[in-house]
Amino acid sequence: MTVKELVWDMDGTLLDTTPVVPAALARAVRALGGPGVDADDIVAEYWRGTPEVIMEHLVGRPLMVTETEVYYRELEGAEGAPYPGVVDVFAALRAQGRALAVFTGASSRAAGMLLRSAGLHVDVLIGGDHVSRPKPAPDGVLLAAKELGIDPVDIAYVGDSPLDLRAAVGAGSRGAAAAWGHLYDQAERADVVLSGSSAGT
């Protein structure tokens, strides 16, 4: 199987958002009358999907659209720093004429805000709001393949979380583990492990 295109996870893979996203979500939850939660509590709920889904779970009730805006106001101006090597890798891929594609469990709106703040421009952005099932379901990887116009078997999905790697398996794609990410688990099977402290190694 030849890899023709890469699809990237965002949080913990392209961007170190651990200082900003959990804090913004925690503040939003408190503002909406939910319990006090910390970064670990928030990260433990990432598997649920979009920020809206996570907030509803933690607040304990359905939220109106106007209420979910609280999170985006908290996120406004936040910067998710690219991991070392990411900018260079993106530049090299762009120079080769390769597409830059991202599938993230975050909403496409939040992802767009964070990627722009980091100076990363992508051709395809699939957010958790674009699919009916969150990772580890393969829906986002399959949708990315469709948007890229290639077969899923020709994709490698790069992500730090076991859920990312399982999504790749479900799509019939290759799974590339981003070992620098905060959710990397060496016990999770991957087709290749991108090791070291940067995306360029």
Q: Which residues are catalytic?
A: 9, 11
Q: What is the DSSP letter of 81?
A: E
| Cα–Cα distance measured from residue 78 to residue 21, given in angstroms and rounded to the nearest whole number | 8
Task: Quote the CA–CA distance of 108 and 126 in Å, as a whole number.
Answer: 6
Rounded CA gap, 47 and 162, in Å?
A: 10
Give the residues across from 39 on adjacent strands: none
What's the CA dihedral at 118, 16, 131, 162 to 10 degrees? 150
